[in-house]
């Protein structure tokens, strides 16, 4: 009898532990600090790269070069040692987050029983909502465009109310930890389907909308169940480091357009930004590419990939900061319309321009492939809120505001693109 009670007890514990719940994640960050360091010289840059040889550190930004700030996460054990090292190297720093776990708790999943945009949601809830919308509206065509490495569906929704429309594609959550991406893309889709705003209704009549809300379902589930800070997909990439096998490819570094040029991080396969040993290796992005290619040439006229953070509209190209797309000035005018309209709502300013200029030179991004290979005439990466206060862990109470400002930006963008002849 006692054994039976013990067994039932163990089973119950097992069930509870197996279900993902906020704050129960395997990897916790209690009393971990986020340091922002300002790197001024090449020597400091070199030393910062080497810091991980003796301090366990999680870089939140790709180490591109001097003249920038970088955020890094360090646990209680190594904080003193990091501060001593930074002081010794005369690297200026400040602590921007005192307790990362507290921040993560405010940016976690709240009531996940149904889809709304006041909290973040799990993959199941997002996909259930997608399925419900598809069942309720016959102008939505929903398709599984492929399976992830671990066998999860990659779903798409195509909204088409009129034949002969041109299309705008919205891509979400290719980077696992950027939860605000799928939250915003689903917010936009919900507006297009359910809003009573006459302008949005017109946009959903006059254009087709293709939405892939979750390009990286494996990584996304991993950020919910194991490690909130995961970025890549979850395919073992064939490399090892001292902690074991290395997983994942940064899928927004894996698209084949001027792949592997300057700024490349190929030597560090365990890094969060590892773009693979060659382009087009990941099943998730191959599915996405096949899906995009399944439409007639000229049908998709705008491709927008949603990311966090920094408040940018990043245009092609990524692989160079000295060459610009043939219609770069036109794309800048369209991005400016987004930026101006978005800023009018809550004052969030979005900086726009070529990603190689504004961000840093790196290739393999979706927007460059969509522009350079698929010849889609307006493509961009939208880096959503914020500018670094919360960074990747934007609190849940900002999701709706982000959705509203991006909706305003998107309306202006489409109208400007129309005026500029993008849809002709």
Active-site positions read: 383
Show Cβ contacts of residue 363 under 8 Å, excluding neighbours closer than 6 positions. Answer: 253, 257, 258, 259, 260, 261, 263, 264, 318, 319
Q: How far is it, in rounded angstroms, from Cα 166 to Cα 423? A: 6
Cβ 305 to Zn ion shortest distance, Å:
8
**Binding pattern to Zn ion, positions 40-69, x when CB under 5 A?**
------------------------------
Residue 167 corresponds to which tokens in the numbers above?
């299309």
In sequence order, the β-bridge partners of residue 236 are 247
Residue 350 corresponds to which tokens in the numbers above?
């979005």
Helices (H), 321-398: 328-346, 355-358, 366-372
Q: Minimal CA–CA distance to 93: which of 56, 54, 48, 58?
A: 48
Q: Minimal CA–CA distance to 170: which of 308, 304, 370?
A: 304
**Binding pattern to Zn ion, positions 193-232, x when CB under 5 A?**
----------------------------------------
Looking at residue 303, the DSSP 8-state letter turns out to be: E
Cβ 273 to Zn ion shortest distance, Å:
10
Q: What is the total residue count of the chain? A: 424
Cβ 398 to Zn ion shortest distance, Å:
17
Closer to Zn ion at the Cβ: 178 or 256?
Answer: 178
Closer to Zn ion at the Cβ: 33 or 307?
Answer: 307
Cβ 287 to Zn ion shortest distance, Å:
18
**Binding pattern to Zn ion, positions 255-294, x when CB under 5 A?**
----------------------------------------
Cβ 231 to Zn ion shortest distance, Å:
7
Cβ 318 to Zn ion shortest distance, Å:
12
Total of residues contacting Zn ion (CB under 5 A): 3
Closer to Zn ion at the Cβ: 314 or 422?
Answer: 314
Residues 298-317 touching Zn ion, rule: CB under 5 A, are 307
On the question of a cis peptide bond just before residue 7, with omega within 30 degrees of 0, the verdict is no
CA 228 to chain centre: 13
Closer to Zn ion at the Cβ: 158 or 307?
Answer: 307
Element (H, E) at 124: helix 123-136
Residue 385 touching Zn ion (CB under 5 A): no
Closer to Zn ion at the Cβ: 385 or 416?
Answer: 385
Q: 340 in helix, strand or coil?
A: helix
Residues 169-188 touching Zn ion, rule: CB under 5 A, are 175, 178
Radius of gyration of the chain (CA): 22
Q: How far is it, in rounded angstroms, from Cα 365 to Cα 310? A: 17
Cβ 383 to Zn ion shortest distance, Å:
7
Closer to Zn ion at the Cβ: 307 or 374?
Answer: 307
Angle 5-7-8 (CA atoms, 0-180°, nearest 5)?
65
Closer to Zn ion at the Cβ: 172 or 203?
Answer: 172
CA 49 to chain centre: 24
Each residue of 151-186: b (16+ CB within 10 Å) or e? ebbbbbbbbbbeeebbbbbbbbbbbbbbbbbbbbbb
Which positions lie near Zn ion, rule CB under 5 A? 175, 178, 307
């Amino acid at each position: 009898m006692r054994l039976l009670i013990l067994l039932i007890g163990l089973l119950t514990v097992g069930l509870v532990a197996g279900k993902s719940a906020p704050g129960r994640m395997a990897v916790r960050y209690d009393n971990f600090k986020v340091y922002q360091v300002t790197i001024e010289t090449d020597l400091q840059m070199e030393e910062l790269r080497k810091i991980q040889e003796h301090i366990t550190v999680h870089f939140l930004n790709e180490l591109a070069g001097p003249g920038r700030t970088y955020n890094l996460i360090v646990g209680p054990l190594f904080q003193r040692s990091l501060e001593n090292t930074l002081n010794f190297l005369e690297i200026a720093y400040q602590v921007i987050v005192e307790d990362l776990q507290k921040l993560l708790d405010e940016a976690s999943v709240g009531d996940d029983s149904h889809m709304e945009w006041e909290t973040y949601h799990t993959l199941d809830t997002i996909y259930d909502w997608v399925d419900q919308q598809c069942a309720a509206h016959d102008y939505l065509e929903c398709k599984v465009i492929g399976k992830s490495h671990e066998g999860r569906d990659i779903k798409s929704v195509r909204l088409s109310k009129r034949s002969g429309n041109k299309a705008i594609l919205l891509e979400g959550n290719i980077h696992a930890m950027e939860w605000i991406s799928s939250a915003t893309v689903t917010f936009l889709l919900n507006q297009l389907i359910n809003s009573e705003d006459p302008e949005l209704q017109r946009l959903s009549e006059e254009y087709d909308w293709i939405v892939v809300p979750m390009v990286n379902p494996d990584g996304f589930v991993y950020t919910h169940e194991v490690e909130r800070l995961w970025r890549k997909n979850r395919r073992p990439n064939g490399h090892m480091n001292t902690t074991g096998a290395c997983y994942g490819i940064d899928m927004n570094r894996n698209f084949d357009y001027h792949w592997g040029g300057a700024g490349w991080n190929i030597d560090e396969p365990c890094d969060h930004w590892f773009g693979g040993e060659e382009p087009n290796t990941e099943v998730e992005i191959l599915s996405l590419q096949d899906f995009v290619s399944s439409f007639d040439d000229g049908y998709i006229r705008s491709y927008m990939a949603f990311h966090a953070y920094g408040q940018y509209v990043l245009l092609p190209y990524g692989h160079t900061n000295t060459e610009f797309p043939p219609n770069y000035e036109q794309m800048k005018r369209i991005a400016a319309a987004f930026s101006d309209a978005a800023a009018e709502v809550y004052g969030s300013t979005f900086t726009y321009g070529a990603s190689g200029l504004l961000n840093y030179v790196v290739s393999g991004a979706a927007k460059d492939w969509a522009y350079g290979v698929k010849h889609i005439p307006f493509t961009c990466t939208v880096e959503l809120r914020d500018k670094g206060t919360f960074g990747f862990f934007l609190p849940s109470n900002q999701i709706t505001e982000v959705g509203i400002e991006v909706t305003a930006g998107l309306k202006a963008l489409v109208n400007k693109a129309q005026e500029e002849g993008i849809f002709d």
